[in-house]
Chains A and B, each alone.
Chain A
Amino acid sequence: MNDASSHTPKGTIDGVNGNLIRVTFPESVMQNEVGYALLGDLRLKAEIVRVRGRQCWLQVFEDTAGLKVGDPVEFSTELLSVELGPGLLKSVYDGLQNPLPELAEQCGFFLERGQYIDGLNRETKWDFTPSVKVGDVLSAGESVGSVPEGLFTHRIMIPFDWRGSFTVKEISEALTCTVDTVIAKVEDGAGELRPVKLFQTWPVKKAIKAYDERLRPTENMTTQVRILDTFFPVAKGGTYCIPGPFGAGKTVLQQITSRRADVDIVIVAACGERAGEVVETLREFPELEDPRTGKSLMERTLIICNTSSMPVASREASVYTGVTIAEYYRQMGLNVLMLADSTSRWAQALRELSGRLEEIPGEEAFPAYLETVIANFYERAGLVRLKDGSIGSVTIGGTVSPVVTSRNPLPKVPSKWWEPSTVSAANARINVVIPPSTLWRAGVNIPVWWIPKNWIRPDAVCGPVAMWNK
């Protein structure tokens, strides 16, 4: 939690519109900076979404009831960030990286506003083992040591935003410590010593790029679901989305994928979905056996919940939090699958914000820049070669309900998309039935890796399937 101090820049509310507040500030602020609207003892977290002259607009991640003109707002001088370090796996977070079980212990069943808890537990002990020695020269993203985290070796890395090279001046012996212990000190080019802890923070809306090279995804991510692997294969480091109406089975398909997919870590970001679906995931995953390890599926899973009953503003934060954590584990040479369910609800949140900002609306009142925002998100997927030569990937799969958002989020998904079901099939509760004819009609190239060429012709199956599709 950020501490308030007398030096914290402050502003004053001069307008409240739903979860959007307009604030006049005397000093400087920056776009996407975190601020706190003060309501008595409560500090309501918010993010600057627009700056005009001496006024800025903040979307508050909480209910704004009670806020009024003249109330103070504190600015943190930091961008909306997440904590990255050991202890992320097995966690269940809300969109702002508050661990929900701990929050529930503190507040009971009904979460109170203004309650924020550190994303990483400060009490948990980790066994650190150094991998560098004094005098070694490192750069951002390179490892100084590791701690075991469940099934994985969690690399402790030089913070990703540090520029230049750093000489190791101090490195601790193998020890058991908490995440905020300084385990190394490195010297930058200016001769200043910088402490390295087990964790670092990173702004969620900025992609982590502390790698050597971005590679072209070529390896298939086997999901063990025939209809996907054979007809709509997804590459490790690629992107896909699952469009389908309500009840078509998008979430079910994602859950099946998360269990069987050939990846190391799965991050499930439930963005604006019904709480019941998330509860199902939360109940099932700890009891399910990971087919690869024989242990609980939660050992390699992280769930970010921002259900439809939670503040709309944090929906956007939840997908960014998820993809940032995915990028972090990619930096350890792991293959990560990030599932965003659903991007339509995220689009709804963007629409709500855009409306309150009185922007010129695009189709169906969605902001005109919706496609750009979604494309930027999907572009964070990728296969990379890290500085130590190892390869890591982030694969992003999102669901889209075309009924809600027309097909707006679809055009900018960079790679490929699946069409799991027609409306009629959804009504009949027929899942994972992909009429290939739909894809031919849509003019989508189906990337296939073993289907014989002569079979991929519309006249091979399109005739009867097209009839059945009607």
Chain B
Amino acid sequence: MMKVVGEEGTAMPDFVQYLKAEFLDEVYLQQDAFHDVDGASSADRQKHVFSVIHGIMTTPLTFKTRDNARQEFLRWQQIAKDWNRIPMEKPEFKTTEEKLVHAVEQHRSTGEEN
């Protein structure tokens, strides 16, 4: 549908929904099979990571422009991909998680309305 009407013809909430789906695909559905940590995700880790991703998926987000939305999601994707490569027992795991959640939360609290 978006291919037919183009980005400009897509309502902002739908566009954000689309970006959320892309985010889920990039950071959760895809794994780097060649990376020791990202290549094998234990059940505990999956539960934990999924709960965070689920939180992001269900957080209402608002952006001024589509470019701004895309930029933010790309930034979060990068943080989440780095997070996927950190062993769960390392302190960096927690800090990166907080960084991701904070980035999303900060945007929600300060984000401009559509």
Q: Please name all residues of chain A whose beta carbon is closer than 8 Å to the beta carbon of B49 when the two chains form the complex.
A: 226
Give the residues from 244 to 268 in chain A that come closer than 8 angstroms, CB to CB, to chain B: 256, 260
Q: Does A151 contact B (CB under 8 A)?
A: no
A433 to B26, CA, bound (A): 10
| Interface size of B in residues (CB-CB distance below 8 Å) | 28
Q: Please name all residues of chain A whose beta carbon is closer than 8 Å to the beta carbon of B30 when the two chains form the complex.
A: 432-433
Q: Please name all residues of chain A whose beta carbon is closer than 8 Å to the beta carbon of B1 when the two chains form the complex.
A: 467, 470
Interface contact B42-A224, CB-CB below 8 Å: yes
Interface residues on A, range: 20 to 34
Measured CB to CB, the nearest residue on chain B to A291 is B40
Interface contact A224-B17, CB-CB below 8 Å: no
Q: Does B24 contact A (CB under 8 A)?
A: yes
Q: Does A460 contact B (CB under 8 A)?
A: yes
Measured CB to CB, the nearest residue on chain A to B24 is A461
Task: Find B40's partner among A260, A432, A434 (CB 8 Å cutoff).
Answer: A260
Q: Does A464 contact B (CB under 8 A)?
A: yes
Interface contact B20-A464, CB-CB below 8 Å: yes
Q: Does A452 contact B (CB under 8 A)?
A: yes
Q: Does B57 contact A (CB under 8 A)?
A: yes
A461 to B17, CA, bound (A): 7
Q: Does A450 contact B (CB under 8 A)?
A: yes
* A456-470 interface bits toward B, Cβ cutoff 8 Å, 1 = contact, 0 = none: 000011011101101
CB distance from B42 to the nearest CB of A (A): 6
Q: Please name all residues of chain A whose beta carbon is closer than 8 Å to the beta carbon of B17 when the two chains form the complex.
A: 461, 463-464
**If A464-B17, A464-B20, A468-B21 touch, does A451 touch B41 (CB 8 Å cutoff)?**
no
Give the residues from 41 to 89 in chain B that come closer than 8 angstroms, CB to CB, to chain A: 41-43, 46-47, 49-50, 54, 57-58
Q: Please name all residues of chain A whose beta carbon is closer than 8 Å to the beta carbon of B42 when the two chains form the complex.
A: 222, 224
Interface contact B2-A226, CB-CB below 8 Å: no
* A283-303 interface bits toward B, Cβ cutoff 8 Å, 1 = contact, 0 = none: 000000001000000000000
Task: Find A229's partner among B20, B46, B57 (CB 8 Å cutoff).
Answer: B46
Q: Does A227 contact B (CB under 8 A)?
A: yes
Q: Does A438 contact B (CB under 8 A)?
A: no
Q: Does A55 contact B (CB under 8 A)?
A: no
A108 to B73, CA, bound (A): 58
Interface contact B21-A465, CB-CB below 8 Å: yes
A331 to B113, CA, bound (A): 63
Interface contact A433-B47, CB-CB below 8 Å: no
**If A455-B54, A455-B58, A464-B14 touch, does A222 touch B43 (CB 8 Å cutoff)?**
yes
A463 to B2, CA, bound (A): 10
Q: Please name all residues of chain B whose beta carbon is closer than 8 Å to the beta carbon of A229 when the two chains form the complex.
A: 41, 43, 46
Interface contact B29-A470, CB-CB below 8 Å: no
CB distance from B17 to the nearest CB of A (A): 5
A229 to B43, CA, bound (A): 8
Q: Does A372 contact B (CB under 8 A)?
A: no
Q: Please name all residues of chain B whose beta carbon is closer than 8 Å to the beta carbon of A260 when the two chains form the complex.
A: 39-40
CB distance from B1 to the nearest CB of A (A): 5
Give the residues from 123 to 137 in chain A that come closer than 8 angstroms, CB to CB, to chain B: none
Task: Find A230's partner among B2, B20, B28, B39 (CB 8 Å cutoff).
Answer: B28
Interface contact B29-A227, CB-CB below 8 Å: yes
**If A220-B43, A432-B30 touch, does A463 touch B58 (CB 8 Å cutoff)?**
no
In the A-B complex, list the 10 residue pairs whose CB atoms are closest, starting with the nearest. A464-B18, A464-B21, A224-B40, A467-B1, A222-B43, A227-B29, A260-B40, A467-B2, A465-B21, A226-B41
A residues in contact (CB < 8 Å) with B: 220, 222, 224-227, 229-230, 256, 260, 291, 432-434, 450-452, 454-455, 460-461, 463-465, 467-468, 470
A-B contact pairs, 13 of them (CB 8 A): A220-B43, A222-B42, A222-B43, A224-B41, A226-B46, A227-B29, A230-B28, A450-B47, A451-B54, A455-B57, A455-B58, A461-B21, A463-B18
B residues in contact (CB < 8 Å) with A: 1-3, 14, 17-18, 20-22, 24-25, 28-31, 33, 39-43, 46-47, 49-50, 54, 57-58
Q: A452-B54, A463-B21 are in contact. List 19 more A-B contacts (CB 8 A).
A: A225-B41, A226-B29, A226-B46, A227-B28, A229-B43, A230-B28, A230-B50, A256-B33, A450-B50, A451-B50, A455-B54, A455-B58, A461-B17, A464-B17, A464-B21, A467-B2, A467-B3, A468-B21, A468-B22
